[in-house]
Chain A
Amino acid sequence: MTNDSNYVGNIGYYYQKLQFLGNEGEKKEWGEISKGKDNRDKIETLKKEIETNEEKLKKISFHFENEKILNYKPEHNNYDLKEIKIERLIFKTTYPGLLVGSGLNHEVGADEFKLGFSFDYTSGLPVIPGSSVKGVLRSAFPNDEKDPKFQYIKDKLATFGVNSEDINVLELKKEIFDGIKEENGDKNIRFNERDIFFDAVLTDNNNDKHIFGEDYITPHSDPLKNPIPVKFLKILPEIEFEFRFLLNDSKVNDKITANVKKELFKQILCDLGVGAKTNVGYGNLISTNLSSKNLDKKTEKSADKKTAPEKAGADETSWQDEYTKKTGKKVKNK
């Protein structure tokens, strides 16, 4: 319907609003029509009507242009933090893709994507919020010593040559995520010594590439019941995201330098993925910046090995199967 293969406006705005808008009057009309299930026919008629009516076409054409989103190619990532000296980790998405912000509201039209999506307001480009990045990293840390994650973190640190016996993982967690240090009575860590988790954004390597795809889930309560396909928007595989941090050397343990933290975060992100539906493979990430300073080559290799894309698998139950039954090792997306 449209020939502008590359939309130059704010795609987040388009997804959240414009698609439904046309203009104020049309919005209402459209809202009414698109609600009922029986209105498919009406929509078809309306579509035909529109095609015969140039004027109306101009106004309502918005509604049927999912292609506009799917054909969208970013021109610039529009969100560099060049003013701040940050650490960067670059990852690529893998099959089937990435889904962030699925819990956000999205107005429901007939042919529409049913789940929300996370966009940066200003640039309109997809973004993984800093809170999600911090959240997924925190989720890899244990709540107590019996937690299988306790061993997981120790094992990961050991691969960077940090002797795991010296490390109080629980204190480290408090320091990184809560900014609490319990020695010396000085409990709260000053803000400029805290670790900061910025929004993860597209890199400029995605410019002029398709980044969005559509996908379906078909939940049905009973194998014999009617499945209801739910269409949603996702980030395609092979799209590069840049995770950005401000990291400080740990005060809890001087071996945990900013760089070790960075490597640890890289590992966790590769192992756990980000966003929604990680259980079925969404949000898996492959690290693409293989060069990292100050770490021995051995670590690099073992890190690489784990990053081969693997297929979406069955449910993961308790924490990654009790860290694979008390560490026969392997916390990686199955």
Chain B
Amino acid sequence: MDVKKELYIIEAITNMHVGSGDANFGIIDKTVQRDVLTGFPAIYSSSLKGSLRDYFVGLKSEKTGINDLIIDHIFGKEGNNENGSIQGKYKFFEAKLLGLPVRSNKRPYLIATCPQILNDFLESAKIFASELSNEISDLGTIDLLNGEIFVNGKIDDEIIEGHKVESSANLWENLEKLLGNDFVIFSNEKFMEICAELPVIARNKLDNGESKNLWYEEIIPRKTKFYFGVDLGSGEYNNKFTKNIDDKIVQIGGNATIGYGFAKLENLSKVLK
């Protein structure tokens, strides 16, 4: 049986908060989801699938051709007394971090990543976009020692998140497609340190100017990039699915009404074009 798979890149175009439901032991009341092994920010598959389902429910109309039948096929349906439940035929995988914006004294931001992430990405690409994995196989060759920082296109005296930049290279054309022209690769260790301290936003509930509740929430800054794989099963309705998700804006995570979590989805094949 032919199994269809796709790999998508998510780019946050507004700040995002996909909450873990946890507080940390410091000041942060609401933390974001993180990959259990690496500690990098992530979007768990259940959150991602929920967002996508909600997005497709919002698309339901004659014009788009999206209806309950298709939605139930893709995402499944909970059973009730009369009808049994339906298992979703598509499989959604956790969205993993591809790049995080970091601040610099020479430009507003760069997208930062590390060898481990690029390796993981390549592994995922082999599974979900095997036809493209040759194109990006050079991502797997990048290896940095602790403390090393590589910037695409060097600028003198640049300090990125407190780290002085010393080396640069212009080797990675495909990385430019993936991350944009302004990117930086940190060693795994350094990047883990950077990811440990995501920006925190203070939120306050005021009642007649008086503070009733103050809390701090961690955010995924806009321009952050994730990637995720989808297994489309036998590929039924795959045109409807891919057409409506590629190059489209989907809202992911909490605080939607204050503009959080608007993200652009793009198929890897398009990104690398």
Residues of A within 8 A of B (CB): 7-10, 12-14, 17-18, 21, 23-24, 78-79, 81, 83-84, 101, 103-104, 120-125, 129-131, 133-135, 139, 177, 179, 190-192, 194-199, 244, 319
Contacts and interface: CB of A to CB of B under 8 A. Distances in A.
B4 interface: no
Contact of A190 (B58, B104, B106, B204): B58
Contacts of B57: 190
Nearest to A62: B105
Given A122-B221, A190-B57, A21 B162 contact: yes
Contacts of A121: 15, 101, 103, 199, 219, 221-222
B262 interface: yes
Contacts of A7: 105
Contact of B105 (A10, A134, A190, A197): A10
B54 interface: yes
Contacts of A133: 258
Nearest to B109: A122
Interface in B247-272: 249, 251, 255-260, 262, 264
17 contacts: A12-B103, A18-B105, A84-B249, A101-B202, A121-B219, A122-B101, A129-B201, A130-B258, A130-B259, A131-B255, A139-B206, A191-B256, A192-B54, A196-B258, A196-B259, A197-B259, A199-B259
Contacts of A84: 13, 249, 262
Contacts of A83: 13, 249, 262, 264
Contacts, number: 108
B107 interface: yes
A14 B259 contact: no
B162 A17 contact: yes
B259 A198 contact: yes
Contacts of B14: 81, 198-199
User: Which of B104, B109, B201, B259 has the largest number of chain A CB atoms within 10 A?
Assistant: B259
B165 interface: no
B84 interface: no
A19 to B, nearest CB: 10
Contacts of B249: 83-84
B30 interface: no
B262 A13 contact: no
